[in-house]
């Protein structure tokens, strides 16, 4: 499974998001090595500048991985990430880059298999529309 593939940046929140990735690692579930994890304290910390920077630096896709809306560790989910996600999707659309290159995924804590499935589906979607990304 560890073939080189589309270069993906995952911004994972420090709580449920990261726990999914840790569980995936503990269970020995594999996902492509081209997936780079960036840990952030909360997804609300991620803004369009960071996402666009990842694309500027050559990422083929960016995944935002965080807690479920009601499960935010900071009790009140501000909805900021939704705003930034929509905004960035629209910018990508204007740039003619496919909006599919950006995903916002919310998973319950410790869902390792869920994360691996989501990231693999995401990569498959990108490689299907953008075969050059697979190399």
Partner 1 sequence: MQNIEHEIKDTNIRLCLDCGKCTVVCPIAQHDPAFNPRLIAQRRLSQNSRGSRDDTIWSCLSCYMCMERCNYHVKFPSFIHALRAESLSEGTQIQCNHGGAIQAMMRLMARGDLQQKRLGWLPKDVELSSQSDTLFFVGCAPYFDVLFSDLGVNALEGVKGALKLLNRAQVPFNIIANERCCGRDLLLQGDRKGFTVLAKANMDEFTRHGVKKIITNCPECYYTLKVNYPNMLGSTGIQVMHLTQVVAPLVQGGKLSLGKLEKRVTYQDPCTLGRCSRIFNEPRQVLSAVAGLKLVEMEQSREKALCCGSNSWLQCGAVNRQIQKQRFAQAEISGAEILVTACPKCQIHLRCAQKSSDGKIARLEILDLASLAAQSLD
For partner 1, the binding residues (CB under 8 A) are: 47-50, 52-53, 55-56, 83, 87, 90-91, 93-97
Q: Which is nearer to partner 1, 91 or 134 (CB)?
A: 91
Phi-psi region of 16 (alpha: psi -120 to 50; beta: other; left: phi over 0): alpha
User: What is the smallest separation between the CB atom of 130 and partner 1, expressed in angstroms?
Assistant: 11
C-beta of 52 vs 107, nearer to partner 1: 52
Instruction: Tell me if 129 sits within 8 A of 3, measured CB to CB.
Output: no
Smallest distance from partner 1 to CB 102, Å = 13
Q: Which of 24, 25, 20 lies closest to 111 in space, CA to CA?
A: 20
């Amino acid at each position: 499974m560890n073939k080189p593939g589309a270069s993906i940046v995952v911004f994972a929140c420090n709580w449920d998001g990261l726990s999914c990735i840790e569980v995936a690692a503990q269970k020995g579930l594999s996902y492509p090595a081209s997936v780079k994890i960036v840990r952030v304290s909360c997804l609300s910390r991620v803004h369009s500048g960071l996402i666009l920077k990842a694309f500027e630096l050559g990422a083929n896709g960016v995944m935002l991985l965080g807690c479920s809306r009601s499960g935010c560790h900071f009790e009140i989910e501000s909805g900021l990430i939704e705003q930034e996600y929509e905004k960035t999707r629209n910018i990508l659309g204007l740039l003619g880059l496919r909006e599919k290159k950006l995903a916002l995924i919310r998973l319950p804590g410790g869902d390792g298999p869920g994360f691996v499935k989501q990231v693999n589906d995401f990569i498959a979607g990108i490689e299907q529309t953008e075969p050059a990304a697979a190399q």
